[in-house]
Amino acid sequence: MLCAQGHLNKILGGLRLKPPPGCAFTLPKTIRLRSFAKINHGLKILRKRSDGYHELRTIYQTIGLHDRLEISLSRVGKAITVECDNPAIPPGPGNLVYRTCEAWAKVRGWGGRMRVQISKSIPLGSGLGGASTNAATTILGLERLSGDRLDATARQRLAAGLGSDVPLFLLGGRVLGCGRGEEVYPLVDLPSLHCLVIFPGFSVSTAEAYREAGLGLTDEARSAYIGSFGAWPHFPLMSWGPAENDFENVVFTRWPELARLKRQLIRAGAEVASLTGSGSAVYALFSSSRQLSRASKLIPKGWLKFSTRTLVRDEYHRELYEQ
């Protein structure tokens, strides 16, 4: 079911863009991209690691909900500028996109100006990967603009150094996440489904959620379980279906209204309903838009809801770049 590393390299390497011979910079200097969100189709926390992170297994799935990025490069001057229409997002080194630009410039030896403008639609602190997808999309956009592309291994290493969820957005579609989530493998895509995403208006601290969810886990007690990939019974690899997210034990205890919403969505006909990541967003997958429309009426007043769909890998890469 998993693609081999060679196939992963082929997927990433096939996106390579090279400038014409003898021309240092001929591609457009500004590019506009869609930065897609993700959901987690199951998430198992297996043990605490010696580096302070938790070992996990998850299946990521990209969806159509997206932010928009406009990236510009210039050889005149030397500065990084990141602007966002959401005032809660810092413009400087505290912004993951800013750090992405710094890291890419260092790796590629870029000495010019870099500017990124972000238009946010993905809610902050929702478990939908908003910051991580912006970082990965920035890498892809900078490579597209400059024509200077890292090899697959170096690109994955750069993304993993920026955050655990960043590498998955270099692949898109349905992706297996191992390690702390940064070790990714493309899975065979399943047919697209209608996706309802609900954000209750509050965020969940990822660090606190991991701390509470990891209580009682030891460093070595489940190492054999990890090595044998024993978490697979919790992941329906061949079809959509129920998948367990260990963070629900923590988040649903604190916010029972989210647990109640999940039950309502399942009764409304959802093939899958789950917390995504460490929350706070909940999603539901439906086979028809009519089912999704009926289920959307269950959302409490004041909560945000997004009607979208799951994105397979080919469509993900095709839709990244705006015309």
Q: Which CATH class is domain 5-319?
A: alpha beta
Q: Quote the CA–CA distance of 60 and 177 in Å, as a whole number.
A: 7
**CA 31 from chain center: how many Å?**
21
> Taking the CA of residue 117 as centre, how many other CA atoms within 13 Å lie in the half-sphere pointing to its CB?
7
Q: Where are the domains of the chain?
A: 5-319
User: What gap in Å lies between CA 304 and CA 319, rounded to an integer?
Assistant: 24
- Which of the residues are catalytic? 38, 165
Backbone CA torsion sign across 152, 158, 161, 162: negative
Q: 51: Cβ–Cβ under 8 A, 6 or more apart, which residues?
A: none
Give me the residues of the chain with pLDDT under 50, please: 1-4, 14-28, 221-230
Which two structure tokens, joined as six digits, stand for 249? 């034990």
pTM over 0.95: no
The helix or strand, by DSSP H or E, that contains position 304, with its residue range, turns out to be strand 304-309
Write down the pLDDT at residue 78.
86
Phi, psi (degrees; rounded to nearest 5) at 97: -65, -40
> What pLDDT digit, counting tens, does each position of 71-92 carry?
999 988 889 999 999 999 988 8
Q: What is the pLDDT of residues 171-223, one digit of tens each?
A: 999 999 999 999 999 999 999 999 999 999 999 988 888 888 876 565 554 44
* C-beta of residue 100 within 8 angstroms of C-beta of residue 153: no
Q: What token pair was written down for 89?
A: 């997002």
pLDDT of residue 216: 58
**Tokens standing for residue 83:** 């602007």
Question: What's the token pair of residue 210?
Answer: 């991991």
